Chain A
């Protein structure tokens, strides 16, 4: 018998990250849907509201944030459920790697495939709302800090609703209220910048939220997965 531990946190992280990335590459529909939803809805608002530049400028950050939040939410139900349905999750739970490693890898892959493209696209979409250049930057920075929190919170909710009947509905009821603080501080950062105040308190709070979420939530996700596999 070997006595050296074969599993490791980075090993599990790399395993899940590369596998989820490859799966998304093979079947890009999900990722494309999320991005298309974001682009379409964020572009519909200026058309619907009309060409009142002052109004658009005021609602722009909030609308972009709500769109990003809903787009990120769209991808949540599939985060663990496909692995749950085909038995991969059982195999992963029995892996030599610590569970928190591959759970973190999956969350990171989820962010790269949803949060990151949304962040990169947000300044372009925000141009339709006539936001100033520095406001665009603050908006993108807030999204860059806030969307990982959405992935982390979403993973916990997604793992909690695994195997539940009507899981999608439950997931919405569970996840969207939890996203509210991120929305408030995220949109608040850009609004503060637009009205000539410093966005740094909002960004600092978002960053603090990210640190707390990154420390605590992967463990909670592991617990939720264990419960749903039981």
Chain B
């Protein structure tokens, strides 16, 4: 049974406690919206969730197992999208996508990469170095990655930054598909998204 659970997470940065006693559970087909003012710890929460930042206390459970005990199984299930997209300027859109997906150890053939990039409206930009792409187009490479990786869990930090209306719709489609196939998502965002979140987590109040 796919499920993500977070218990009593607390994290502080220097002397400031960003959040404490954060607990939630997300079941298959649901997504959790993380809301809060700037600086309230949304990014830190997602980083704790992904295992990039060590929380002061608390634990993350994936499919009933504490993640810290078997991080590699968790990393195979996770697509993390930080506010830096991990796009290399000197590689083309297609090469960037291939490199990001190959990190999962699950090679994807050129055809499905191309299909994903075309779906994101990048079919004419496949072989352009990423330095010549706009911020929104770079974001779309990240969206194509989500589509190709098809990971059961998404942890996304402001995925709509720099995306236009059409980009937002594309993302909402992807999210709806992801949830319909039993996926789970935790998304920090200020915008309202079309598939309604199963619940909201409000930080910093």
Contact = CB atoms under 8 A, between A and B. Distances in A.
Contacts, number: 84
A43 to B, nearest CB: 31
A86 B105 contact: no
A112 interface: no
A4 to B, nearest CB: 10
A26 B52 contact: no
Interface of B: 2, 50-54, 63, 72, 75-78, 80, 82-91, 95, 99-100, 102-106, 129, 152
A230 B54 contact: yes
Interface residues of A, number: 28
A96 B84 contact: no
B82 A90 contact: yes
Closest 7 CB pairs of A and B: A87-B84, A6-B105, A26-B90, A87-B86, A96-B105, A95-B103, A91-B86
Contacts of B63: 1
Interface in A1-23: 1-2, 5-8, 11, 15, 19, 22-23
Given A90-B80, A91-B86, A95-B75, A15 B102 contact: yes
Interface in A52-107: 85-88, 90-98
Nearest to A92: B103
Contacts of A90: 52, 80, 82, 84, 86
Contact of B103 (A15, A85, A87): A15
B93 to A, nearest CB: 14
A94 B50 contact: yes
Contacts of B50: 94
A195 interface: no
B152 A1 contact: yes
Contacts of B89: 86
A23 B90 contact: yes
A94 B86 CA distance: 12
22 contacts: A1-B2, A2-B76, A5-B72, A6-B104, A6-B106, A11-B105, A22-B91, A23-B90, A23-B91, A26-B90, A85-B84, A87-B82, A87-B84, A87-B86, A90-B82, A90-B86, A91-B100, A92-B103, A93-B52, A94-B103, A229-B53, A230-B53
A216 B83 CA distance: 33
A1 B74 CA distance: 11
A93 B85 CA distance: 14
A96 B75 contact: yes
A96 B54 contact: no
A98 B100 CA distance: 15
A86 B52 contact: no
A26 B87 CA distance: 15
Contacts of B84: 85-87, 90
Nearest to A82: B88
B76 A6 contact: yes
Nearest to A27: B90
B101 to A, nearest CB: 10
A109 B204 CA distance: 44
A19 B98 CA distance: 10
A19 B91 CA distance: 9
Contacts of B129: 26
A96 B103 CA distance: 7
Contact of A23 (B77, B88, B103): B88
A229 B52 CA distance: 6
Contacts of B105: 6-8, 11, 95-97
B76 A86 contact: no
A2 to B, nearest CB: 7
Nearest to B103: A95
